[in-house]
Amino acid sequence: MNPTLVGTPVSDGIAIARAVWITSSARQESSKTIPPEEVEKELARWEKTCREVTEHLQKQRNFAEKTSAEILEIYLEMLDDPEWNTEVCRQIQTCRKSVPAAISEVLRPWILEMESLEDDYARQRAEDLRALENLLQEILSSAAPMETIPQNEPFIAVGEEIPPVFLIGKRNSHLRGILSQRGGTTSHTAILAQTLGIPAVMGCDGLFGKVRTGDLLLLDGSEGKIWLHPDSSLQEMYRKRLVRKKMPDISTPPLPVAYQGRRISLKINAADLSAVEAVRQYQADGVGLFRSEFLFMSETPDEETQFLFYRQLLENVPGPVFIRTLDVGGDKPIPGISLPPETNPFLGMRGCRLYPLHFSLIFQQLRALLRASMNGNLRILFPMIISPDEVTFLRQLIFQVQESLEAESLPFQKNVPVGLMIETPAAVMMASELAAQVDFFNLGTNDLTQYTLAVDRNHPDVGKLYNPRHPAVLRMIERTLQAASEASIEVCLCGELAGEPEMVKILLEMGLNEWSVTPSKIPLIRETLRKYV
């Protein structure tokens, strides 16, 4: 039975449940203008609305887990932004707009501008503005809650776009999956879905008119496939897969794992301090990839803030922590770095290419990292490397940072291991030369697949060609492992391919010893590894 619809897989897992369309019941007032005598009343109404939405978000934030709380904090910062607050008041006072109309007048141009940008990350931020607008309009219209969901039965949320706020607090509800026409892998909804372990498929064209509330859906968040009214045999096949994924017991201490005399290591990918609990809960061997750029998403932290954060992380994680230095550009812009518009940002200024232009930013981060190295097992990981010259520059940069710390009598570990992300064909072809300069490699198969196959995985037309199991990608991995073996350095695989149990035996035979995966995938990969050792 072929899938009815195909979209972008953004959160792994399988869901079989009835569809529920999530739509905003907010209604904008028909009158766009108000008489002069009502201006003061509308200004007071706007102030009251902001206060109510702020209180609502703060209450949710206080009881939310870390990732959810951080996203709610972004909404609170938007509400507190004096620029847009002033502009809404101007629309009410000068243009005599009603509050709902003024909100739309101010937010709509920003949303449209973000959606028009080539940068995928910027387009996804438009989702946040739309979600905030919906919240404000709901309060203003005194409408019923934005969703009408079943109280005692599982469901899959379906909509043009599922706002992030909808997911917060849904960990123990009957929400089984997410299916939307808009959205992508960098959206806050996608990040939350992954954090909460909710299967999700986004960017799925053709939802309108095909899927209705009450329709039975089978959603495969790993493959981006959706079946409408799946037959009993297909449901049974996927239910068996679901049971197999739930079988591993994380309460049992992991046994030492070895393959042909090689010790096998299983670590987690992380982006915040939840890594501390995840490593302990899943009894992982450490953090194989820590994405430090998430610290910079809402504001640029100073050196002391970074130092305290890294110190807390390193102090509490048993085992090594591989912290990737600031990796922005491409699909990950941040407030502290202004990037000029690029026709193809994935081939432009990103990763280490930005460091010479924003020297103080990376210098500050390296100072914070080296200072924190006294408190744990730090590994420094540099992204987007294509030549030995770039490694020479980075080694010199580390030396300068060490000199600056010594001049201030600040303690640090002098021989912190330094490694590179292997995520371009150029890095693979230069792997032997690069291996001679560093202590380890991390294989980033997400970008390596994209660059090897010349495929934008989020593109609606060519995304289906994205395949990390493509023979060309596998040969890239094998070549990297061979070069690392000859140089006697380790390689950790930290892309999505590392979380695929079907690839475990192939990767073992290639010579891979270290996996780093989403925490929830640890039990399954551990059980799969045990089959071959």
C-beta of residue 278 within 8 angstroms of C-beta of residue 270:
yes
C-beta of residue 140 within 8 angstroms of C-beta of residue 102:
no
Three-state SS string over 77-94 comes to HHHCCHHHHHHHHHHHHC
> In b/e form, how buried is each residue of 426-439, taking b as 16+ CB within 10 angstroms?
ebbebbeebbebbb
Q: What is the CA radius of gyration of the chain?
A: 24
**Is 494 among the residues known to form the active site?**
yes
Catalytic residue among 188, 204, 352, 492: 188
User: What is the distance between the alpha carbons of residues 533 and 526, in angstroms, rounded to a whole number?
Assistant: 11
Find the DSSP H helices in 22-98.
39-63, 66-79, 82-93
- What separation, in Å, do the N-terminal and C-terminal C-alpha atoms of the chain show? 36
209 sits in the region (left: phi over 0; alpha: psi -120 to 50; else beta) called: left
In the numeric block, which tokens belong to residue 466? 């994205």
In the numeric block, which tokens belong to residue 478? 């094998």
Task: Give the dihedral sign, CA 524/527/530/532.
Answer: negative
Task: Give the dihedral sign, CA 292/295/299/305.
Answer: negative
- The β-bridge partners of 378 are 321
Query: How open is the CA angle 35-37-42, to the nearest 5 degrees?
Result: 80
Catalytic residue among 204, 352, 492, 494: 494
**Is 50 among the residues known to form the active site?**
no
Residue in 273, 255, 274 with CA at minimum distance from that of residue 263: 255
- The β-bridge partners of 448 are none
Beta-strand runs (E) in 63-174? 155-159
In the numeric block, which tokens belong to residue 517? 């995966």
Location of structure tokens 């929830």: 520
Look up residue 54 and give its amino acid: T
Query: Torsions phi, psi of 253, nearest 5?
Result: -55, 135
C-beta of residue 489 within 8 angstroms of C-beta of residue 441:
yes
Location of structure tokens 């469901």: 155
Active site residues: 188, 494
